[in-house]
Copies of this chain bind each other. A is one copy, B any other.
Amino acid sequence: MTGKVYLVGAGPGAPDLLTLRAARLLETADVVLHDALVHPDTLALAKRAHLVDVGKRYGKVSTEQRFIHRALVAAAQSHAVVVRLKGGDPMLFGRAQEEIEALARAGIECEVVPGVTAALAAAATLRVSLTRRGIARTVAFLTPRVGRDENASAWIPAALGCDTVVLYMAAGASQSISASLIEAGKRADTPAVLVESATLADEARLFTTLGELAAASLPRAQGPVVMAIGDVFREASAIEALARQEPRRHAL
């Protein structure tokens, strides 16, 4: 018997931002190979399944990719329903193509179930649309994280060409990202927002600008960080600044 592998998006963090299809697949799964940061309540849906933590933390490779391929193939060779559960959506920064190809080479059927990606969860929690009439009609999703064989500044034209830019896996890199963008011609007063652990109880956010981010390094983040840049954030940023001043005003 050869089973089928489902590459499933676990969504941005909160367990109820999983899709109905993903929830049903987890309920029927025999084996679930999951990223490290998937919520325990999401994993708890997989009542029947053998759970395997393959240790990926939103793009950081902790488990050797080849090990994941071998484990997926082995699981499908002895189980009917195998779920490969990935943070966010599988088709954005998830190395899904490598897993799809490894399964194809082994003659194993594969299906992809999309999920809510972190950028859209961050937009929802900030209540700022990534597009907006007259302000932003183009959005880039990218990661500045660089592999050995890749050009370190290849992402910059994308970031300059789009009205709104969302950077994935930006934790620890906000200072160098901001400095690079200002050097490439972005205004230092361009609004920037960092959202850590979007949609989870310990969610944190920082409304700032490229100039401020370039000037100082931030404390180390505890969870995954999405960094968003663009004029769509200007008003939310101003409201946030006002809210910070409120208590002081009342004290006068």
Residues of A within 8 A of B (CB): 9, 11-12, 14-21, 23-24, 89-98, 100, 110-117, 120-121, 123-125, 127-134, 137-143, 147, 149-150, 154-155, 157-163, 232
Contacts and interface: CB of A to CB of B under 8 A. Distances in A.
A20 B21 contact: no
A158 B138 contact: yes
Contacts of A157: 160-161
A129 B161 contact: no
Given A20-B20, A23-B20, A129-B100, A90 B124 contact: yes
A18 B20 contact: yes
A17 B19 contact: yes
Contacts of A143: 131, 137
7 contacts: A18-B19, A90-B124, A97-B129, A133-B150, A134-B149, A137-B155, A161-B162
Given A100-B127, A139-B141, A161-B161, 6 more contacts: A17-B113, A92-B139, A94-B129, A137-B155, A141-B141, A142-B162
Contact of A138 (B18, B24, B140): B140
Contacts of A159: 138, 161
A127 B23 CA distance: 20
Contact of A150 (B18, B127, B137): B137
A55 to B, nearest CB: 18
A65 to B, nearest CB: 10
Nearest to A17: B19
Contacts of A90: 124, 129
A91 B130 contact: yes
Nearest 4 interchain pairs by C-beta? A161-B161, A138-B158, A91-B123, A112-B124
Contact of A140 (B12, B123, B158): B158
Contacts of A139: 92, 140-142
| Most chain B C-beta atoms within 10 Å of own C-beta, residue among A112, A114, A147 | A114
A138 B90 CA distance: 15
Nearest to A20: B16
B14 A16 contact: no
A241 to B, nearest CB: 17
Contacts of A127: 100, 110-112
